[in-house]
């Protein structure tokens, strides 16, 4: 499990960030710190990823969830394609924080919890973040395809807002259905 989100991460966000996230509905959006801890999100994001608000704050890390959720619960549809890039971008960010205990700890824990992360981490690939097409699956509505856009939150150094723009009408409709039916959105959350 990753280190807990530093208590001041969410508090360090300007009070204007959450209204921006909320205003982006029905486009899913979240703010993460450089280590991929999810520190704020909107209703559409929570509808697609109900594991996030249901998780303990110390488990709200997108990399942690991507590599440790079992296949039945992992929303990343194109995991095999995306996983190497996730790790390479994380390594790029890690290179600026190598001496920080929280960063070392999450790498240690991910390496122990996920053989796939461990394998990819040893490749030492590095990549810059950028716009990506990401496909997710949700048990209530099926596949949702989006294009991501990363925006720096300059008032909280290292933080970025990730906006998931639906690729088409079907994707927009599926997100709207999840927002309109929170019980269906919650189908993805269960215990093993």
Looking at the chain, how many residues does it have? 192
| Per-position DSSP letters for 49-64, written without gaps between them | -THHHHS-GGG-BHHH
Three-state DSSP at 81 gives: helix
**Cis bond leading into 26, ω under 30°?**
yes
> Where does 7-77+131-188 sit in CATH, by number?
3.30.450
Burial of 34 (0-12, 13-18, 19+ CB in 10 A): middle
Measure the N-to-C terminal CA separation of the chain; round to a whole number of Å.
16
pLDDT exceeds 70 at position 5: no
> Is the preceding omega at residue 71 within 30 degrees of 0, hence cis?
no
pLDDT band at 6 (very low <50, low <70, confident <90, very high): very low
pLDDT tens column, 7-38? 445 557 889 999 999 999 999 999 999 999 99
Reduced to 3 states, what is the DSSP secondary structure of residue 42? coil
pLDDT in tens, 55-67: 888 789 999 999 9
Closest CA to 110 of 6, 35, 5: 35
The per-residue pLDDT for 53 is: 87
**Is residue 2 predicted with pLDDT exceeding 50?**
no
- Domain boundaries of the chain, sorted by first residue: 7-77+131-188
Question: What pTM value is reported for the model?
Answer: 0.88
Nearest to 15 by CA among 31, 35, 34: 31
- State the DSSP code for 4: P
State how far the Cα of 135 lies from the Cα of 184, in Å rounded to an integer.
19
């Amino acid at each position: 499990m990753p280190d807990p989100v530093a208590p001041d991460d969410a508090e360090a966000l300007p009070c204007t960030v959450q209204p921006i996230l909320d205003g982006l509905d029905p486009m899913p959006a979240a703010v993460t710190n450089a280590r991929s801890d999810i520190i704020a999100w909107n209703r559409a994001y929570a509808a697609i990823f109900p594991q996030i608000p249901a998780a303990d704050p110390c488990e709200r890390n997108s990399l942690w969830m991507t590599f440790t959720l079992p296949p039945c619960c992992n929303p990343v549809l194109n995991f095999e394609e995306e996983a190497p890039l996730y790790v390479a971008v994380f390594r790029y960010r890690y290179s600026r924080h190598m001496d920080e205990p929280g960063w070392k700890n999450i790498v240690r824990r991910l390496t122990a919890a996920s053989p796939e992360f461990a394998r990819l981490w040893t490749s030492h690939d590095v990549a810059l973040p950028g716009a990506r097409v990401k496909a997710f699956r949700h048990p209530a509505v099926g596949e949702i395809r989006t294009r991501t856009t990363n925006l720096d939150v300059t008032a909280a150094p290292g933080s970025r807002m990730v906006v998931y723009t639906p690729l088409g009408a079907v994707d927009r409709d599926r997100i709207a259905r999840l927002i309109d039916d929170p019980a269906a959105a919650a189908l993805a959350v269960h215990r093993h």
